[in-house]
Amino acid sequence: MTNLKIVIPIILALLILNSVFAQKEINPTVDPIKMSGAAAAIGGFAIIFLVIWLVFMVAMILGIIFWIFMIIDVAKRKFPNDSDKIMWILLVVLLGVIGAIVYYFVVKRADKKQKV
């Protein structure tokens, strides 16, 4: 599923760019100045789309890495009783990145402040 999320936008952008540049070769009677403007607009849209897509992919990968680190931290941390540990593990695993952010600010960051 993740591979499709990566491959499909790239294929769409390449198809758009290919169709724009193929039109120049198929229909030479089109005014090159008008065609270059259209090609630039579509090419610019494709580049903007790819940049936004790359930013989201990087953010998603960083979120998953952060989530995994928080799961490891919950598993290794000593809590006053076992029910707290089970509650935090369930919260972080089931809520994903949002649960990891809540855990970070409620437990991990508070623990750092107490040590200093």
Structural domain boundaries, residue 94: 2-115
The HSE-up count of residue 61 (CA atoms within 13 Å, CB side) is: 9
Domain count, the chain: 1
Give tens-digit pLDDT for 86-98.
Answer: 999 999 999 999 9
pTM: 0.62
Digit-coded pLDDT (tens) for 37-74: 666 677 778 888 888 999 999 999 999 999 999 999 99
- For residues 113 and 116, give the distance between their C-alpha atoms in angstroms, rounded to a whole number: 5
